[in-house]
A and B are shown apart, each in its own frame.
Chain A
Amino acid sequence: MSLSKFKHVKVSGISVVVPEKEINIYDEAEYYGGSVKKIDRMRKMVGFWKRRVSDKETTPADLAYDAAQNLIGEMNIDKKDIDALVFVVQQPDVVNPSTAYFLHDKLGLSQDCMATDINQGCVGWVFGLHMVSQMIESGAYKKVLLLNGDTPSVGIDPSNRNSAPIFGDGGCATLVEFSEEEIESCYNIDTISSGFEAIISPFSGTRFRMQLSDDKEWNLLHELVHEKLTMPTGMEVPLMGGYMDGIAVFDFTINIVPKNIRKIMDYVGLTPNDIGALCLHQANKQIIQAVGTGTGFDLEKVPYTAFENYGNNTMCSIPTTLACLDKEIKKDKLCCCGYGNGLIAISSILNLENTYISEIKTFKKPEYVLTRDEYINYWRKKITGEISRKEEK
């Protein structure tokens, strides 16, 4: 069943943080042969302009933590009332256990509050809302903190013009609650798993295992890390980096995503005229406009300001878009659609008329963040017993 409807789930508040460091594509003329004309063309065609990027020490969880602290403070949320924390992340702090437990601890949530990670990419905000809505509508949970975080810009070679100008980083916190008063929300999901390899980090998990205590394996890893290959587009990329079949993804977005959106609008009996804005995942301007026109929307209702100003911050891009919306736009019927790695498209019709949407905040690095050397030393001391649990506290 790809379509679902909820009647008692309210999105109460949304808060987004972005890193302080901003990169402007006009400061990167060296990668365009010094040609402002070429940059102008990229700006006009794809919307490349500004993006916010993290340092190497900041993790998606840190961004989500800061967004959560802002939301809890601004909405005066009593932490004791939060009975579930769901963290959507594709780059967890550690593989084991769920990074949600780390966030649960740092935020000081109660033992009665459950916590879990969900692994999703660009669809992560809408997908997370869909999962949390089921938890609330079932009656099991009343107040859920949905967190999202991603740092796709970290580790990308700045000379990789396929990826570097696109991605920005961000964190988001969303409070979702049970509402006695009826408030309708709907979702439609298309799962195109045949496109599983279209956006993938093929060497990031257990499909590629190495025994690094073996010198031969270590040498092989060294070779593989440095291996570069030429894509059909002529772009040279590292074997072990993330892989994206740009054309397959574009094909998916112009063919599947508009159908996904039209289906949910038919389901609820709405036309583009009834919708305040079509808030799409901010992949890039070209894709946003192709999806918008493919869905029959006037492009004035399909914003891409968030992409131009903050970059594609994956699962945070729709909440970032919501925070950028003009105040005059009616938010009682918004269509929010995520699409990306999976491949998956998920659209929603949401009523955010009475939702607190904070202005976008600059990330404040939490005091607990350690440098890499400090992190290594922390674990040395932890393993040898020099740090006790009591001292940590």
Chain B
Amino acid sequence: MKTEDFLVELEDILQREEPCNVNDALTDYEEWDSLSKMAVMAYYKKNFGVDINLNTLKEINTVDELIKLAGDKIID
């Protein structure tokens, strides 16, 4: 998946009305709550076969770091 496509997907996962950008801080998003984190966990598992847990999501701060968790499943 291309990064730009993932950013659109992320907007939907978080049910966010503003666009998402690579350099955004997730912690600045009002929508970055436990529901969104669970939605991201489910999305990564379903679409990338990648298991991530809450502790990992707690440690990341930016959209870019979230993208990196998908490894080569999200490309530029």
- Which residues of chain A are near B61, meaning CB under 8 Å? none
- Residue B31, interface by CB 8 Å: yes
- Residue A46, interface by CB 8 Å: yes
- Which residues of chain B are near A366, meaning CB under 8 Å? none
- Which residues of chain B are near A250, meaning CB under 8 Å? 38, 41-42
- Residue A286, interface by CB 8 Å: yes
Within 8 A of A (CB), among B37-76: 37-39, 41-42, 45-46, 51, 53-54
- Residue B1, interface by CB 8 Å: no
Asked if B34 contacts A286 (CB within 8 A), the reply is: no
Size bracket of the B interface: 10 to 19
Q: How far, in angstroms, from A293 to B41 measured CA to CA in the complex?
A: 13
- Residue A41, interface by CB 8 Å: yes
- Residue A212, interface by CB 8 Å: no
Q: How far, in angstroms, from A294 to B35 measured CA to CA in the complex?
A: 18
Knowing A44-B15, A247-B54, say if A290 contacts B42 (CB, 8 Å).
Answer: yes
Q: How far is the CB of B30 from chain A (nearest CB, A)?
A: 9
Q: How far, in angstroms, from A233 to B35 measured CA to CA in the complex?
A: 10
- Residue A251, interface by CB 8 Å: yes
- Mostly helix, strand, loop or mixed at chain B's interface? helix
Cross-chain contact of A246 among B15, B34, B45, B46 (Cβ < 8 A) = B34
- Mostly helix, strand, loop or mixed at chain A's interface? helix
- Which residues of chain A are near B45, meaning CB under 8 Å? 254-255, 290, 294
0/1 interface trace, chain A 290-327, chain B, CB 8 Å (1 if under): 10011000000000000000000000000000000000
Asked if A254 contacts B35 (CB within 8 A), the reply is: no
- Which residues of chain A are near B36, meaning CB under 8 Å? 45
Asked if B38 contacts A247 (CB within 8 A), the reply is: yes
Nearest B-chain residue to A249, judged by Cβ: B38
Q: How far, in angstroms, from A254 to B17 measured CA to CA in the complex?
A: 27
Knowing A250-B41, A254-B42, A294-B45, say if A45 contacts B54 (CB, 8 Å).
Answer: no
Knowing A44-B15, A254-B42, A294-B46, say if A286 contacts B35 (CB, 8 Å).
Answer: yes
6 CB < 8 A contacts A-B: A37-B17, A41-B15, A233-B33, A247-B38, A250-B42, A289-B42
Apart from A254-B45, A294-B46, what are 7 other A-B pairs with CB-CB below 8 Å? A233-B33, A246-B34, A246-B38, A250-B42, A251-B53, A255-B45, A290-B45
Q: Considering the complex of A and B, which 7 residue pairs feature the smallest CB-CB distances, nearest first?
A: A290-B42, A247-B54, A41-B15, A250-B38, A233-B34, A293-B46, A45-B35
